[in-house]
Structure 1
Amino acid sequence: MSGTSGVHEKARGWEAARDALVDAAVAAHDEDTLRRLSAMPGGFGSRPARCRAWLELLHVDRLRSASVSPDTTRFATPDTDAETVVYTPHRDEEQVLLDTRRAFVTYPRDVSSDAKAEMQEDLQALICAVLQRHPALHYFQGFHDIATVLYLTLLSRVPRPREGATATDREEWDTLVRATEVVALSRVRDGMGKDLGAMMGMLKLLRRVLAAADPGLYRISASISPVPTLPFFALSWILTLFSHDVDTLAPVQRIFDYLIARNPISAIYLAVAILMSKKRQMLKLAAALGPEARLDPSLLHPLFQRLPPLYADTPEEPRPPPDFHPPEHGAKYDEPNPYAPIALSGIFQLADKLQAKHPFDGSRIRAHEVLGPGSVVRTYARELGDSLNHNSELDDGEMDEKAALKGWTLADAEACIDKDVVLPGGSELDDDDETVPWPDRLGELARSQRVVTALTLGVLFLGVGAALYRSSGRYRLAGLWASYVRRDMSWARAYFGHYVRYVPALRDL
C-alpha cells in the first residue's frame, strides 16, 4: 500500500480462526452465521476477510447494475483504466467536490499531503461514478464519509497507483464502485431522495424504540430537543451509518460489519443501544453542569449528540487498555470527548436484544405505519432473494411474489427513489406528542431565561438547519422543520413547555 501503511494492520493471532469462519460462511452463503460473527469481538477479522463478508452481504455479484447508457467510452475521471465509459455529469458533483476536499482529515494518519490529495481525487471519482450511473440519486453531505470507509476497506492499495496499475487494482476498483452503488441504492437510499422526509420517519421510529426501551431516558431526550420528541441529535448517526461522528477507522469498520449484515432499520436500534450504554456517564456529566442544566435543558443536547469513544474490542483485547485514548489530532470536535470508551460488541448485543424485544414491525414500533413500500427497510427483503425465509417483515402478499422478488436488481432499487418511501403523516409527530402543555405560570424562570432561550433557539434552529442543508443549495426541509415548531403553539410555548417536563423527568431517573 502506498502512502497509508497504518490503515490496514497486520494479521493478529485470533484473526486466522475468525477469517476461517468468515470464509466458510461466505462460501456457503450463510448470512445467519455472518450476522452472528459481525456482532462478536473482532467482527469479520482481517481486512481481506472483511471485504469478502461485506461483498457477500451486500450481494454485489448478484445485484448487477442496469444503469443509464453511457455517453461515450472516453475516460474523464481520475481512474487508472485506459478505457472506460463516461456518463453525463451529475447535478451534485460540485458539492461532492467541496466535501471530498475535506476528506481524510481524521484518518488515516501519517499520510503525506500528495497522497491525501490523490486519495481525495479517488473519492471524488468513486462518488461521481455512482451518481452518474444513477442520476435519480441526490447526494447528501455525509455520504462521502460512508464512501471513505468503503474506499479504505475494499482497496488493498490507497491511493490507487497512477502508473503501473495491475489487473487486481482495476478489479478492486470496479468492485468498490459496485459495492458503493449497492450501499447507496439498498442501504441509504431513503436519505438520497429529494428531501429527508424518510429520515424524519426514521427519527420518529427511533423515538418509539427509545420510549419502549428506556422511558426515563426518552423523557429527557424529548425535553432537550428543540422540536418536541424528534431526536435530531441522532440524525447524522443514522443518515451516515455513524461514519460522520466517529474519528477512527477501526470502530467504523466494526459498525459497518454490524449494519451491513442487517436490515437498514438496525441503525436506529444501534443508536438507542449507544444512548443506553452511555446513559450512566451522561447523567453524571449532566449533574456536573450544575443548576444551569436544570434551568436550560438545551445544555444537554451536546451530551446526547456526542458519541462516546467506541472501542473496537477483539477476543485478545476485550477491554480498552489503561492507556487507551481517542485521537485528538484532526478530531471533528473542538473539545475533548467527555465520555469513557465503550466496547462495541456489548453495544451490538444490546441492539440485537432491543430489536428482538421491540421488533420494528411489531405493535409497539409500527414501522409499517411510517415507512412505505419504497423504503429500504421494506425492500431489504426483496434484495435478499433466496433468503426470504429470514425476513419476518414480509406479509402474505409479498410472499406470493417470491419468484418476482428473486429477480430484484439495482434498477428496481433505483425505481424506488422518492416513490412511496414514507407514508402520509409518517414524518410527522405522533398524535399524543404533537403539543406541549403551556403552563399557567412560569414565574421567574420564564422572565430570567427569556433572552437566553431566544438566543439558544436561534442557535439550535440554525444548527439543525445546517445539518439538513443539501447539495442543491436549498434547505429542503425548511418548510417541514418550521411546520413542526408552528403546530398548535409558538416557538416560545413549545420550548418553555420543555422546562416543565424536563425537570421531573431528570428527577425520575
Structure 2
Amino acid sequence: MKKVKKRQQPSRSRTVHDSGPRHEEHVSWKKQKLVDIHQALNSDPVDIETLRRAAVSEGGLLTDDVRRKVWPKLLSVNVFELPAKPAKNVRENHKDYNQVLLDVRRSLRRFPRGMRAGEREVLQEQLIDIILDVLRRNPQLHYYQGYHDIVVTFLLVVGERMAIAMVETLSNHHLRDFMDPTMDSTKHILNYLMPILEQVDPELHGFMLRAEVGTIFALSWLITWYGHVLSDFRHVLRLYDFFLASHPLMAIYFAAVIVLYREREVKSSDCDMASVHHLLSQIPQNLPYEQLIARAQSLFNRYPPTLLASCAALQSRKSIAISSFQDFQTSTLQQRPDSVLRQQLRQQLHQRHSTNLDQTRANAQNSGAHQLIKMAVWGLSATLGAAALAVAQTAMDWGPDFLLQLF
C-alpha cells in the first residue's frame, strides 16, 4: 500500500516569527509616542505643540492614564490648584437644577456596562454637582441639553475635581457658542457645514440643497462632541483627544467628513428632506475614525474658517469661541511641568504652615502656658495638621492623583 506523504504544517514558532516584526513595529510605534509625550510633559515650559500633535495623530493619547496628564495641559489647567468640591446644600436652588437632574437620570447608557448601580448613582450625583458648580460660578454660561454628555466624559476619565476645572475652561472657550441664552450662536456654527461640503463636493452639496435637509441632523453631534451618538466609549475618547487639541470648529469639520464618507448613500436616497435627514441622523458606529480624523484635519488646513467665513450665511454673526481661540492657544504655551508645580505647592504649604506656627508662638507668648497649648493645637489644624502635612508632602512625591485624595 502506497503511503501518502503528509503535507508539512508550518510550525507554531514559524508563525509567531512571521508575525513578530509587524507586532514589534506596532509596539515600537506606541512606545515612541509615549516617550515623546513624556518628554513633552517634562519640558519647561511644557511642549504643548508636541502634545497637540500626539493627540491628533494616529491612536491619539493611547490610554486614560496619559489623558489624565495631557488633557489638563491642553486646556492650561493646573492640577495642583483645583477648585474645591461643590457644596451639596446649594444646588437645589439653581434655576437649571431640575433640567440637569432629568438629563443626568436619563444618561445611563453613558456609563460603563456592568457598573454597579451604587457606583453609577455616585457618579451621577457628581455629574450634577459639576454641571451646577460650573454654571453657578459662570453666570454668563447657560445650560443646554447635551452638555451633560460632554461633562460625563471628563468625569469618567479624570474624576470630579479635575473635571470641574477642565469643563469650566472648555465651556468658556470651545463650547462657548453653545452656552448662549439662545440657539443663534449654535446655528451659526452649524452653518459652516454646507460651505465645507460645497468646497469639497459641489454635486453632493447641490443634492442636499435640493433636498432642503439643512444641518439640524448634525446638531447632537456638534453640541455633545459626538458623545451622545456613539455607543463605544473608546471612539468618544479618541475624538475628544482630537477636539481638545484642535480649533473649536473641528467638530463641524468632522461632521462634514462623515457626510462626505456617506456620499454614495446620500445621493442614492430620495431627494427630499425626510429621507436625507433620516439617513444622516443615524450615524454609523463602524466609521473609520483614524481616516476621518486625518481627512478633517486636512480639510481644515485646506479650507480654514477664515476662507469659509466669506460665505454670506457666516457674515451675520461673530463666534466667541473662534475669536478667542488664538489668545487661548497662546495662553497654554507657558505652562510649567507637573514636577515644578508640585514643588511650588510643597513650598506654599510649608510657608503657610510656618507662618501659622510663628503666629501661634507670638500669640501664645502673650497668653500664658495654657493658652500656648491651646493655640498650638489651633495652629497645626489651621492648614493640614502636622501629621496630615507630612502625609501630603509624601503624596506629592507620588503624584497628583494620590494627592487629590487628601483634599
Please state how far the C-alpha of 1:371 moved relative to its aligned partner.
Answer: 4.1
3-state SS, counterpart of residue 362 of structure 1: helix
Aligned counterpart for 1:175 among listed residues 152, 162, 165:
162
Q: Give the equivalent residue in structure 2 for 1:358.
A: 303
Q: Give the equivalent residue in structure 2 for 1:96.
A: 100
Residues 1:44 and 2:61 are matched in the alignment: yes
Q: Give the equivalent residue in structure 2 for 1:19.
A: 34
- Aligned residue runs from structure 1 range 194-233, under 5 A: 194-225=181-212, 230-233=214-217
Residues 1:349 and 2:294 are matched in the alignment: yes
Please state how far the C-alpha of 1:190 moved relative to its aligned partner.
Answer: 0.7
Larger Rg: 2
Q: Is contact 2:37-2:51 (8 Å) kept?
A: yes
Are the structure 2 counterparts of residues 276 and 236 from structure 1 closer, same or farther at C-alpha, using a change threshold of 3 Å? same
Which residue identity is paired with 1:51?
R
Please state how far the C-alpha of 1:298 moved relative to its aligned partner.
Answer: 1.8
Residues 1:298 and 2:243 are matched in the alignment: no
Gaps of 5+ in 1: 1-11, 78-85, 156-172, 287-292, 310-340, 389-509
Write the distance in 2 (CA, Å) between the matches of 1:361 and 1:370.
14
Residues 1:153 and 2:157 are matched in the alignment: yes
Moved more, 124-133 or 20-29: 20-29
Aligned counterpart for 1:126 among listed residues 115, 127, 130:
130
Q: Give the equivalent residue in structure 2 for 1:242.
A: 226
Write the distance in 2 (CA, Å) between the matches of 1:178 and 1:249.
22
Write the distance in 2 (CA, Å) between the matches of 1:273 and 1:191.
21
CA distances 1:205-242 after superposition (whole Å, capped 9, x unpaired)? 2211111111122122223335xxx3111111112211
Q: Give the equivalent residue in structure 2 for 1:454.
A: none
Gaps of 5+ in 2: 1-25, 334-407
Please state how far the C-alpha of 1:283 moved relative to its aligned partner.
Answer: 4.5
Write the distance in 1 (CA, Å) between the matches of 2:227 and 2:80.
24
Which residue identity is paired with 1:120?
Q
* Percent identity of equivalent pairs: 26
Are the structure 2 counterparts of residues 90 and 17 from structure 1 closer, same or farther at C-alpha, using a change threshold of 3 Å? farther
Q: Is contact 2:79-2:162 (8 Å) kept?
A: no
Which residue identity is paired with 1:180?
V
3-state SS, counterpart of residue 113 of structure 2: coil
Are the structure 2 counterparts of residues 364 and 51 from structure 1 closer, same or farther at C-alpha, using a change threshold of 3 Å? same
Please state how far the C-alpha of 1:48 moved relative to its aligned partner.
Answer: 1.2
Write the distance in 2 (CA, Å) between the matches of 1:365 and 1:53.
35
Q: Give the equivalent residue in structure 2 for 1:115.
A: 119
CA distances 1:421-471 after superposition (whole Å, capped 9, x unpaired)? xxxxxxxxxxxxxxxxxxxxxxxxxxxxxxxxxxxxxxxxxxxxxxxxxxx
Aligned CA RMSD, in angstroms, stands at 3.0
Q: Is contact 1:87-1:133 (8 Å) kept?
A: no
Which residue identity is paired with 2:327?
R
Write the distance in 2 (CA, Å) between the matches of 1:365 and 1:253.
33
Aligned counterpart for 2:174 among listed residues 187, 199, 205:
187
Write the distance in 2 (CA, Å) between the matches of 1:348 and 1:58.
20
Are the structure 2 counterparts of residues 115 and 38 from structure 1 closer, same or farther at C-alpha, using a change threshold of 3 Å? same
Which residue identity is paired with 2:47?
D
- Aligned residue runs from structure 1 range 351-500, under 5 A: 351-362=296-307, 365=310, 369-372=315-318, 375-386=320-331
Residues 1:57 and 2:79 are matched in the alignment: no
Please state how far the C-alpha of 1:353 moved relative to its aligned partner.
Answer: 1.1
3-state SS, counterpart of residue 361 of structure 1: helix
Q: Count residues in correspondence.
A: 305
Please state how far the C-alpha of 1:191 moved relative to its aligned partner.
Answer: 0.7
